[in-house]
Structure 1
């Protein structure tokens, strides 16, 4: 698989002088096309900061992040915004939806900035995505009139609207019950199987066990990694035990 994202000796620091703290301390990694990757580690280990660095959401202090051959440090804020909107999708623990818009309008909102597309085409794609993820018929609902799992599915629809090369997820199942969490992971697995790379930040061994490569972070560094075969739905307990065993081994 072709390398899509390359991080070289990434340093992200906060504070000055004696108070300076490296949240990311010389991290190097690659994300390849179509990979399904999880990042695990204790709170403060740098998991989310790494995701924000690789997506260009946060500027780094040292090192380099290259996305599809482009050094993100050389891009302007507007260029980075356009890159995230057109090439990347984001799914968070709590989907950021506007209360004054219904579900459909929240899904299509980021895509309306692309003036080359007509609203009717955008709405048609949104409806197709809603049907795919199992929330067809909820278009006119307010965001307070759906369940947490349904709202997260709407967030995934929004992330997929511009056919991104990669989906970044920051604890995407963290606010869901176990059944909804499993359903969301099945959906992300299907999206990945279609060719979209997925990188998830998680503390949940069940979530990580459904991916194919797990990076374990500690103190701003990648302490270890675990590779697993593609999840086929029959060996989840065994995969979870492998994740937990690795965590115990490296003390994260």
Structure 2
């Protein structure tokens, strides 16, 4: 399987007074094309920082991150922005939308910059995605007229509008109730089954248990990994027990 992202000895530091602290302390990790991975760990362990480093959203102080063969540190800010916009999709715990645009216009906005002459095609794709995630009837709604779960679905549509190679999710189900979280994971799993890689940061064992590989972080390092077969929908309890046992073993 082809490697999509390669992180080698990644270091990310911050200072408190005269003391230097490594949020990422020599982390090495690889993500393959089409892989479904998650990152777990206590607050401050570096899991979100790792995701930002792997996506080029945040610079690093040491090591190297390559995306699809390109060294992110060697790219200009414009090149990084173009890469993120065309090859990566992002879903966050609290999706950010433009207040004076409706749901459909918010979804297509990022792609209009690169496809000024294809507005009809982009709009058609957005409507197809909205139908796929169950919000087709909401395209004319303002963002204040839909639920949090519906906004997250719109966020997934926006993340997929450019047909990215990977979706990054930072606690994408963190603000949802259990039913909406399960529905969101069903959608993300479907996206992955169609060939898009997924990297999720989560504190929820039930969410992580649905992925194929879990990386456990502690004090800026990946201290353990766990692998599963593709989620069948029937073995969640057994997978959760194994994740919980590993968390107890590590002390998180």
Q: TM-score range by the shorter chain?
A: over 0.9
Aligned structure 1 segments of 4 or more residues deviating by more than 6 angstroms: none
1:168-183 correspondence to structure 2 within 5 Å: 168-183=168-183
Give 1:216's aligned residue: 216
Is residue 55 of structure 1 aligned with residue 55 of structure 2? yes
Give 1:203's aligned residue: 203
Note the alpha carbon deviations across 1:121-152, whole angstroms, 9 max, x for none: 11111000000111001000011111111110
Alpha-carbon offset, residue 117 of structure 1:
4.3
SS of residue matched to 1:190: helix
- State the distance in 1 between where 2:173 and 2:229 align: 22
- State the distance in 1 between where 2:153 and 2:99 align: 17
Deviating more after overlay: 115-124 vs 234-243: 115-124
Deviating more after overlay: 7-16 vs 105-114: 7-16
Alpha-carbon offset, residue 59 of structure 1:
0.6
- TM superposition score normalised by structure 2: 0.98
Alpha-carbon offset, residue 115 of structure 1:
3.3
SS of residue matched to 2:7: strand
- State the distance in 2 between where 1:219 and 1:181 align: 28
1:1-252 correspondence to structure 2 within 5 Å: 1-15=1-15, 18-115=18-115, 117-252=117-252
Alpha-carbon offset, residue 17 of structure 1:
6.9
- State the distance in 2 between where 1:226 and 1:61 align: 28
Alpha-carbon offset, residue 90 of structure 1:
0.1
- State the distance in 1 between where 2:6 and 2:198 align: 15
SS of residue matched to 1:81: helix
- State the distance in 2 between where 1:207 and 1:186 align: 10
Q: Which runs of 5+ in 1 are unaligned?
A: none
Q: Which runs of 5+ in 2 are unaligned?
A: none
Alpha-carbon offset, residue 18 of structure 1:
3.2
